[in-house]
Amino acid sequence: MSHTDFPSYRGEMEYVCLGCGARRPGDSLLYTCPDCGGVFLLENTRFDALRATGGQQWRAVFDGRAATRTTALRGIFRYYELLAPLMDEEDIVYLGEGLTPIVEAAPALRDQVGVPFAYKNDGQNPSASFKDRGMACAFSYLKWLCRRHNWDEVLTVCASTGDTSAAAALYASYVGAPLKSVVLLPHGKVTPQQLSQPLGSGAKVLELPGVFDDCMKVVELLAEQYRVALLNSKNSWRILGQESYAYEVAQWYGWDVSDLCLFVPIGNAGNITAIMCGFLKMLDLGIITSLPRIFGVQSEHADPVYRYYAAPAAQRSWAPVTVTPSVAQAAMIGNPVSFPRVRALAQRFIEAGGDRAFQVVQVTEQQIMDSMIEANRHGHIACTQGGECLAGLRNARALNLIDGNEHAVLDATAHSLKFSGFQDMYFNDTFPASYGVHPRPELSNKPVLLLPEDAREGKDVAEYARLGAEAVVARLGLRKK
Ligand SMILES: *Cc1c(COP(=O)(O)O)cnc(C)c1O
Ligand SMILES: [Zn+2]
């Protein structure tokens, strides 16, 4: 069989509870452990069979698939055997997710920061955030499950105010029957932009008075008692899909990640967990021979994971925090559901890669905004969380956690356009006091109206063009050639 055909290997997936260690078969929908309430990671019990193929051979397989004409292998499932190798080709949903570009920092920005770095633009996914990686996997699994159990209707539900609902609604609308998507939002707590994505995808959008956490509780109750598929972070199939980020980074750098430092924002902590899982799997199979270093980044307005790891190892104790408003809104979470996953994976990462292999740095709201604006003034398309990563890199450098010979890869988790409201507040100096952000005047940018509002009236095209040109010339001080 050629590397570009759909593989015949099938694994067998099991849920493994991080609380009590219980195992359950992967052919039913489970979110938390029925025994202890813990979160799951998924494990392929036939992973050993993959070891028969050497690391070098795996690299050749994945490199070969870059040229595949098999649609199902064109996105995150280029790494099929490492993700959820249950599904058949017909189950796989491909909307162009994954294989997002890694763009080296503009030279002027790189010199300013003092460390070579690149952005991986995960905002260039179909719904403009990395959440699509997880949804592609979760929806492919759902299709497989529906076929297996002959289900004729499944409601997918999620509570969200942003990127999760956008991604879930997009994939559900593409797949169509038997899947239908419902999004539960806290009434009045979402901006028109945040609403527009699930509405545009035709999802049923339900609202409840209250906050996000209230909606989350409702959705969890529904998932316990009805046949609905919960698509929030507790869904471990999403975590699997998000591992693809790690595979892509390794492949881009020729499978040598020893000098890389990855910066990842932490919200519910699903993404950073998935990325660590991905690198550990590659190390296990000899696809890479050493781990990169992973830096989690949190704002001081929502930093429970930072606080946990800031304490000396013997004195660490987990405590959720109360968040205050953060521009890194998609990561503004005080009690991340995936914290047990972080703790488990960080430990494995440090065992395999040493003390410096996993660290968490903290940044201020001011640094996040300044960094996002500066990145985007140098041709990048970072969202606020992407700005958070650049701020994290700067702080790591200042703390001497990283030296000038290493190469950083920053996760721009969403497209800058999703968060343009914060850019507006920065340019117009209209941040509510609770954010504590004071724009640097030299970074502000506003449109300039050249002529009075009624200037067009009563003039023909040629006359108005002359007037407009004169106004441009005067404004820019242009000289005739
Ligand atoms: C969801 C999200 C995050 C946070 O990721 P977690 O997996 O919850 O830690 C960061 N940035 C963006 C744009 C997101 O949508
Ligand atoms: Zn358990």
pLDDT single digits (tens) 404-453: 889 999 999 999 999 999 999 999 999 999 999 999 999 999 999 999 99
Provide the pLDDT for residue 170. Answer: 96
State the residue range of the domain holding 458. Answer: 450-481
Residue 424 sits in the same domain as residue 310? yes
Residue 58 forms part of a structural domain: no
Q: What is the pLDDT of residues 176-192, one digit of tens each?
A: 999 988 999 888 777 77
User: Which atom of ligand 1 lies closest to the CA of 271?
Assistant: 7
Residue 313 forms part of a structural domain: yes
- Residues with Cβ within 6 A of ligand 1? 129, 131, 162-163, 233, 265-271, 330-331, 383, 385, 413-414
Provide the pLDDT for residue 461. Answer: 96
Mutate which of 129, 216, 273, 329 for ligand 1? The one with the most ligand atoms within 8 Å of its CB, which is 129
Residue 472 sits in the same domain as residue 391? no
Amino acid at 194: Q
Residue 360 sits in the same domain as residue 259? yes
Give me ligand 2 centre to Cα 341, in Å.
Answer: 13
Residue 469 sits in the same domain as residue 344? no
Residue 334 forms part of a structural domain: yes
Provide the pLDDT for residue 225. Answer: 85
Cα separation, 347 vs 342, in Å, equals 8
User: Which atom of ligand 1 lies closest to the CA of 274?
Assistant: 7
Residue 422 sits in the same domain as residue 356? yes
Residue 264 sits in the same domain as residue 407? yes
Provide the pLDDT for residue 187. Answer: 85
CA neighbours within 13 Å on the CB side: how many for 25?
Answer: 4
State whether residue 361 is helix, strand or coil: strand
Q: Is the confidence at residue 459, as pLDDT, over 60?
A: yes
Residue 351 forms part of a structural domain: yes
Residue 388 sits in the same domain as residue 454? no
Give me ligand 1 centre to Cα 265, in Å.
Answer: 7
Percent of the chain at pLDDT exceeding 90? 86
Residue 7 forms part of a structural domain: no
Residue 367 sits in the same domain as residue 417? yes
Provide the pLDDT for residue 19. Answer: 95
Name the average pLDDT for the chain.
94
Average pLDDT over residues 359-380: 98
pTM: 0.96
The CATH number assigned to the domain holding 408 equals: 3.40.50.1100
Give me ligand 2 centre to Cα 40, in Å.
Answer: 8
Residue 300 forms part of a structural domain: yes
Residue 337 sits in the same domain as residue 471? no
Residue 308 sits in the same domain as residue 350? yes
Residue 345 sits in the same domain as residue 309? yes
Provide the pLDDT for residue 132. Answer: 97
Average pLDDT over residues 312-336: 92
Q: Is the confidence at residue 77, as pLDDT, over 70?
A: yes
Q: How many residues does the chain have?
A: 481
Residue 469 sits in the same domain as residue 422? no
Residue 391's closest CA among 350, 437, 346? 437
State whether residue 460 is helix, strand or coil: coil
Give me ligand 1 centre to Cα 36, in Å.
Answer: 26
The total of structural domains in the chain comes to 2
